[in-house]
Structure 1
């Protein structure tokens, strides 16, 4: 009977010792990280599911906007052509203007020793004093960038109406002899143009008749 009582007394003691041994280890463990801690810790770590930012590539670089496809490679820089170094001629191609659009050729020749740059269309105006007038407008949006060397002419074709319309209207009446002035593109300050006379293909003076806007086309060099 004494042995049985001693055995029963040993059981609660073993339970108490087991609880005492586990208690300090459990209370000393670190608590699980809060959600704020997890968010802060993961902010500096890249997400493997997010691709890295794209870097510029030479193949996707936009083209240079100051390049001109009409400028030959290796063209030297030159100052703009000025009226003082250009000789202009205006040649009417059709001997008897009819109802079809008349045509003429405006030619510019560089008389200076150095080349000059002709970037754009020349401006031609026919007028009677301060009264009626007509002028040139480009017939195309093509960019013009030319290098005129000494003695090398460049030719611009002109197209215009040289007869009154069905109501008898003509911008410059046909009985007037208008004055024609020509200016290079980007003229210098105070440049009011160079007077030029119209001739036929044999060089004989003819009276110009302009009834509407003069269309000027892309040039060609001779």
Structure 2
């Protein structure tokens, strides 16, 4: 009986020792990464401190422009036209308003002895006090450079609806008489333009009717 008890005690002690030896191995299931490995993994790819040399945020320069067909090669240089040397006329064309190739013609004549240049389209605006207003916008992206000589005016065609639409809308009500002002392209800061009256083809004053934006076309020699 004593031998049997001693044998059981020996077996129990062996089992306890085996469990004690296996316990730490269960919690340390795999090797932990070294501190050097963790530092490398968290750092990742280093962030560059300087921007790439091939990238720039500067606005590209515009490409040089060329003269329009109205300014042939060899045209002598001239100063920009100013309001003080220009005589403007605004003529409403005959026919059904707003349905022809042009509704009106804007003419510019150089009254000075020396030529001057128009670099772009003139700007015409019609308004009633601080109320409704309409103005010109180029009808084409064609570049304009005109050498304006004394006695050789140029004409700009204007196209716009000169009667209310089917809903009765008109940008400037037809019972109002708007003030019209025209300025040359690239005006000086003190150039406030020239007041203008509209006439018919016989030179008689007429009330202008502007119901929407005025499209201005390329100039032609008169």
Q: Give the TM-score range, shorter chain.
A: 0.5 to 0.7
What corresponds to 2:130 in structure 1?
A: 130
What corresponds to 1:16 in structure 2?
A: none
What pairs up with 1:1-222 in 2 under 5 angstroms? 65-70=64-69, 71-94=71-94, 97=97, 100=99, 103-222=103-222
Instruction: Output one character per residue of 1:144-200: Cα deviation in whole Å (capped at 9) or x when no partner.
Output: 011001121000000000111222111000000001000000001121210010000
CA distance in 1 between counterparts of 2:200 and 2:67 reads 36
Which runs of 5 or more structure 2 residues have no equivalent in the other structure?
Answer: 1-62
What corresponds to 2:18 in structure 1?
A: none
Q: Return 188-197 or 131-140, whichever deviates more.
A: 188-197
Task: State the secondary structure of the residue aligned to 1:84.
Answer: helix
CA distance in 2 between counterparts of 1:177 and 1:127 reads 9
CA distance in 2 between counterparts of 1:74 and 1:209 reads 41
* Count, aligned residues: 158
CA distance in 1 between counterparts of 2:204 and 2:150 reads 26
Which runs of 5 or more structure 1 residues have no equivalent in the other structure?
Answer: 1-63
Task: State the secondary structure of the residue aligned to 1:146.
Answer: strand
Structure 1 segments (4+ residues) deviating >4 Å: none
Query: What TM-score, normalized to structure 1?
Result: 0.68
CA distance in 1 between counterparts of 2:85 and 2:67 reads 25
Q: Is 1:88–1:108's contact at 8 Å kept on the other side of the alignment?
A: yes
CA drift at 1:134: 0.2
Q: Return 189-198 or 208-217, whichever deviates more.
A: 189-198
Instruction: Quote the RMSD (CA, aligned, Å).
Output: 1.6
Q: Is 2:68–2:145's contact at 8 Å kept on the other side of the alignment?
A: no
Query: What TM-score, normalized to structure 2?
Result: 0.68
Task: State the secondary structure of the residue aligned to 1:109.
Answer: strand
CA distance in 2 between counterparts of 1:190 and 1:196 reads 18
CA drift at 1:218: 0.5
Distance 1:162 1:76, change over 3 A: same
CA distance in 2 between counterparts of 1:79 and 1:94 reads 36
